[in-house]
A and B are shown apart, each in its own frame.
Chain A
Amino acid sequence: AQSVAQPEDQVNVAEGNPLTVKCTYSVSGNPYLFWYVQYPNRGLQFLLKYITGDNLVKGSYGFEAEFNKSQTSFHLKKPSALVSDSALYFCAVRDIRGSGNTGKLIFGQGTTLQVKP
C-alpha cells in the first residue's frame, strides 16, 4: 500500500538556522512526491515536487527537498529559517497504482514548524 510518514509532529528551530522537515514514503513504483505548506485558516500552497530527474529539487520561498531512493525519503530543507516560515507542512505522494494514475494524493499527517526569533 502507498503511504507517507512524517515522523515529527512539531519541529522547532531558531530564526536563521537551517531547518529540516522529514518525510518518508512507501510506494510500489516510481513516486511522485510533493510538499505543501498551510498557514492558519488558509488552503494548502504548493512548494515543490519530485517527478523525475535531479534528486535535489528547488521550490518556492527558498525551500528545497532531496529525493533519496535508497532511504525512501524526501526531506524538506531550508538553509536559513524565517519566523514567517512557521506553518503546517504536508508531504504527499501521488497514487499511481493499478490500472492507471488515479490522481489521488496520499498525505502525511503533517509537521508543525515553529521558527522562533
Chain B
Amino acid sequence: DTEVTQTPKHLVMGMTNKKSLKCEQHMGHRAMYWYKQKAKKPPELMFVYSYEKLSINESVPSRFSPECPNSSLLNLHLHALQPEDSALYLCASSQDQRGGEQYFGPGTRLTVT
C-alpha cells in the first residue's frame, strides 16, 4: 500500500479564519513533507519532518504552522491567510529523508476569500 491520504479535499476559508489540513500515511515512512502547488507549476517545498522533528522550513510565512503529532500524521495549521495562498497543498512521505521516492497524497484545494 503506497497511499497517503489528505483531508479535506477542498477548503474555502476567509482571511480571518483558522483551519487545519491533515495528512496520514501507514507505510512506516519516517519523513513527511508539505508542498504548495499552483496550477500547472511544479510543487514548492514548504516543510520537511524527519522522525517527527521539523527538519526543513523553506522560509514559509508564520501564518502556516506545521505539526507532526506522530509518525503517521502531519498537520498544517492555517491562520490569517492571504488570497495568494490559494493553491493545491500536497502532503508526501518517504522511507526517510536520505533517499528514495516520495509518495504524494491527492492534495487539498484551498481557496482563500
A51 with B99, Cβ < 8 A, contacts A42-B106, A44-B104, A104-B48 known: yes
| Contact in complex: B45, A105 (CB < 8 Å) | yes
A44 with B101, Cβ < 8 A, contacts A103-B50, A104-B48 known: no
Count of chain A residues near B, Cβ 8 A: 26
Q: Is residue B43 contacting chain A, with contact meaning CB distance below 8 A?
A: yes
B12 to chain A, nearest CB (A): 16
A49 and B101 alpha carbons, distance in the complex (Å): 7
Count of chain B residues near A, Cβ 8 A: 31
User: Could you mark each residue 89-117 of chain A with 1 if its beta carbon is under 8 Å from any beta carbon of chain B, else 0?
Assistant: 01000101000111111011110100000
Within 8 Å by CB of A32, from B42, B99, B106, lies B99
Query: A residues within 8 A CB of B43?
Result: 44, 105, 107
A110 with B40, Cβ < 8 A, contacts A101-B98, A104-B48 known: yes
Q: What number of residue pairs across chains A and B have CB atoms under 8 A from each other?
A: 67
Q: Is residue B102 contacting chain A, with contact meaning CB distance below 8 A?
A: yes
| Contact in complex: A102, B56 (CB < 8 Å) | yes
Tell me whether chain B's interface is mostly helix, strand or loop, or mixed: strand
A92 and B3 alpha carbons, distance in the complex (Å): 20
Residues of A within 8 A of B (CB): 32, 34, 36, 41-46, 49, 51, 88, 90, 94, 96, 100-105, 107-110, 112
Residues of B within 8 A of A (CB): 2, 4, 6, 31, 33, 40-43, 45, 48, 50, 55-56, 88, 90, 92, 94, 96-107, 109
The 6 closest A-B pairs by CB, nearest first: A107-B42, A103-B97, A43-B104, A101-B98, A44-B104, A43-B106
